[in-house]
Structure 1
């Protein structure tokens, strides 16, 4: 007998308990494949083997100027691969946006700020590539989940990183942070201490402290109320409040049913029933 819709949903939801494992991500990618995008894989934005990205171009683009999203995955800056997040590229392309899923160097190959330098280089590459492909007027966004959301936040709030490539934060039409750590000193997790050069961590490594009266690109902050990994109050809510304090455009979405893993998993087409994450992202992109 064919699997019923309810049974399929229950099976997929159960698989999320091991989402960090490659097998679960492989399954999610397999069931998320669609004909909504055309992919170009393995574009190099640097000489290191990890300095590559995959592009997912929408078959049906959004109306008006093209929107392009450079996406950074999480993994505590210690693990992850762009191929594990093909479902994110597929999902963003399904909204009509050009998606770029980025690999970047991880600890112990680099510590802070090496991964930010890679993310900035990838974003600069994306802008040049878009222009070469006929999308010179594209609206450019950076986005990420967990550690990747931190990377996106730093590129959007701290001009040092894009500035190294002759770009300013004003080159971004917006940024999207999903369950990101934005205010995490002193570091509590032992495995993160060496990533940020303990005992020499600095406050300027925290996105929260780069938000002031200077111009900031619009932000969409997403988090799951059940997140037990990244403290929602200390990170997402405090960043939203600081952005609002300085009257920067910010949208905040807190999903009552979602946790750290299911927040990003809900982007996948078979798991959209978990929460309106993808539609909220699509609405944010469409406003640019």
Structure 2
């Protein structure tokens, strides 16, 4: 998505802040005191073992509801300890407060849909495009903030490789590419990346043509995620703000709109053809 933020080192690994490592160590100690392995603990809190491992290593910001879920698995005292540890966390640089809740859902999603009419979804952006986006951020970012947010967005893209069993679907307006944000070279690299990522077995990338009289995306961008428990959530972003939609009626309407847009966008073959044509014209 266009506003995904995380904090990483210069080498692309998540920044291991003391507070995140402390939280992870506390959770690990409580889990081991209950004589549970990560594989045994994970389903009890409805997260994957890999995700639990990253939290214990201090590589992931814990979801807001993790202490409550842990209380059911480890007992009320353990839940209170984790809740206190969570409150003491210093938020990672580059991770917007309004993005935290969706970030946790996205990490665990077994299905992720995205429709963008404003910018390329964060999971598909190249470094050049990311820099072009943040270079135009107002108010301007300090150099350290700039580099942190670039590294953060690049790290989030690991989801595409880390979750081969998750189905990713992206619908992107052709106008976004025609705009050539950052210039022709940035756009060329971006199109190359779309062709590569769209070749993954679990990734679908469709372009919505410039001219489409029958268009169901008039309400703007939208994101949808299906959790391992087969619950669906919707998500939309605005100016430094966001809304997580949990009402089944609203999410159902978003799913219907997304399904309709899939039929209105170019097919996979037509999308590849258009992208190659645009790439050749640069």
TM-score by length of 2: 0.31
Q: TM-score by structure 1 length?
A: 0.31
Of structures 1 and 2, the one scoring higher in RCO (CA 8 A, sep 6+) is 2
Q: Which has more strand, going by share of residues? A: 1
